[in-house]
Structure 1
């Protein structure tokens, strides 16, 4: 059952990524988008915490500290990822930052002694390969000329690992996931609110798009994306509580395939052979894990 929960988390979180892509295609600003995402995500986790009766636990310093770390991993990870795209190709940047999942898998096995069978090892390897392949764009030159790209990518890997692996740590500490994510998303909201405000107040040439309009457009799509982000991460937290982080994490990482599938259906984008291979590897990995 927990594997189905992990698959559901990947689908829902992938839909959040899809609405982010739609915002980009519609000309929405990145900071407006992320501000909107964290607004609705924060509300989602707030309501969830109130309904399940865990909102009072927000006074626990351990929960606040965990929320701070996970929030930093989410907000700064996204910020550094977007910045790294300015200095290097997406075909290298995206799969490398997704390799934060390998750190989470290692944590589950080494720190928490999660048993992994031969079939599960094979499935994990197939899922990790699919995450890499879906991000590669065959026509993009794989050259990096800026040294700072390496620093940005390495930092993003560790920050995303704090987000994706931090929920396993909080589960072991018996901290409720919803208020932890509420704190993390609220802090991220404050961060991107400042960045979005700075964007809207920028002075641009008359021929350039109005930054205030782009901000509002991104914010609206971000509100929708945040609802799916909340639902996906909450399901991911449940999968970590009831199953193995070493398997739930790579399953969750396949959320990027949802964006690729949406691009085929709505934008008529053609996938490369490697991206079609990624779909096949994902199905094979899930089947092998269930064996």
Structure 2
């Protein structure tokens, strides 16, 4: 059951990634869009918690850690892409399952069977192969510190999600805290960034930006629409954590990158390299191995 839930979560996050990729090509304000993404999750989670009569216990406060870790991870990832090499950052942000498997063993003594370990290694190797770039060199590691921090906090976000299930926290109150604190952080980031831009951009440039870009209202509403994929993805991954091994769930969900690749191949007409095809095949073999072993 957990494997199906994790796979469906990967599907939701894959759709989210496709929307993110498309949005990045439209000149959309990233922070305002992400504010909308998290705002949808906050509204939907709070509503669902009352509809289903779930209790707002202290254990649900783990959602605050989830939202904070998610925000910090995204901030570090964006900073890494801004100042470093995209191929390196992409590789590092594909490694949270490795962080999870180590932390889950240290904190909770979770271990994998030989078959599960084999499948886990296949999935991670496949993801890394997909994200590998031939122009990556040891002497060209700009932004590595930001990529490592993003990797760590994405992994910690998964751990916080698993911990909420160990505390038997109600799902929707937990997600309410997560999405609310995330909304707050992205809203503040957007307002601060907007204030900085208003001080440096000339009046003529402001007019050009407004004519060529998306309005704030449209951007926010688009983020809210994307937020539905994020909301359902979080429901599925938290439920998968409840029934499955933490590191394996994290690894399966991480294959959402394959959906983004398929999108770029079919709609953007980007051809796959041999490494990407090989990585996709290895990851899929790893998923099959999890089902069989």
TM over 0.5: yes
Assess if the C-alpha contact under 8 Å between 1:68 and 1:183 holds in 2. Answer: yes
- Matching of residue 257 in structure 1 with residue 258 in structure 2: yes
- What is the Cα deviation at residue 216 of structure 1? 4.4
Q: TM-score, normalised by structure 2?
A: 0.88
- What is the Cα deviation at residue 50 of structure 1? 2.4
- What is the Cα deviation at residue 52 of structure 1? 2.7
Assess if the C-alpha contact under 8 Å between 1:16 and 1:224 holds in 2. Answer: no
Give 1:227's aligned residue: 228
Give 1:102's aligned residue: 98
- What is the Cα deviation at residue 28 of structure 1? 0.9
Q: Structure 2: where are the runs of 5+ without partners?
A: none
SS of 1:108 mapped into structure 2? helix
Tell me, in whole angstroms, the C-alpha distance in 1 between the residues paired with 2:101 and 2:288. 19
Give 2:119's aligned residue: 123
- Matching of residue 157 in structure 1 with residue 151 in structure 2: yes
Between 1:30-39 and 1:129-138, the stretch displaced more is: 129-138
Q: Pairwise mapping of residues 71-110 of structure 1 onto structure 2 (< 5 A)?
A: 71-110=67-106
Q: Structure 1: where are the runs of 5+ without partners?
A: none
Size of the alignment, in residue pairs? Answer: 285
Assess if the C-alpha contact under 8 Å between 1:23 and 1:221 holds in 2. Answer: no
Q: Pairwise mapping of residues 138-149 of structure 1 onto structure 2 (< 5 A)?
A: 138=134, 144=140, 146=142, 149=143
Q: Deviations over 1:104-136 (max 9, x none)?
A: 122334433445222211110011112212223
Tell me, in whole angstroms, the C-alpha distance in 1 between the residues paired with 2:64 and 2:283. 32
Q: Deviations over 1:43-90 (max 9, x none)?
A: 222233223322x41xx34422x1221111111110111011112111
Assess if the C-alpha contact under 8 Å between 1:71 and 1:184 holds in 2. Answer: yes
- Matching of residue 247 in structure 1 with residue 244 in structure 2: no
Assess if the C-alpha contact under 8 Å between 2:26 and 2:213 holds in 1. Answer: no
Between 1:92-101 and 1:119-128, the stretch displaced more is: 92-101
Tell me, in whole angstroms, the C-alpha distance in 2 between the residues paired with 1:214 and 1:273. 40
Assess if the C-alpha contact under 8 Å between 1:72 and 1:159 holds in 2. Answer: no
Q: Deviations over 1:188-232 (max 9, x none)?
A: 101111222334442324356339736445433322221101111
Tell me, in whole angstroms, the C-alpha distance in 2 between the residues paired with 1:38 and 1:241. 23
Matching residue within 37, 60, 67 for 1:63: 60
Aligned-residue Cα RMSD (Å) equals 2.2
Tell me, in whole angstroms, the C-alpha distance in 2 between the residues paired with 1:115 and 1:154. 24
Alignment CA distance shift 1:278-1:145 (3 Å): closer
Tell me, in whole angstroms, the C-alpha distance in 2 between the residues paired with 1:275 and 1:164. 26
- Matching of residue 17 in structure 1 with residue 11 in structure 2: no
Give 2:287's aligned residue: 286
Q: Deviations over 1:115-158 (max 9, x none)?
A: 52222111100111122122234457775465xx2332232222
Q: TM-score, normalised by structure 1?
A: 0.89
SS of 2:131 mapped into structure 1? coil
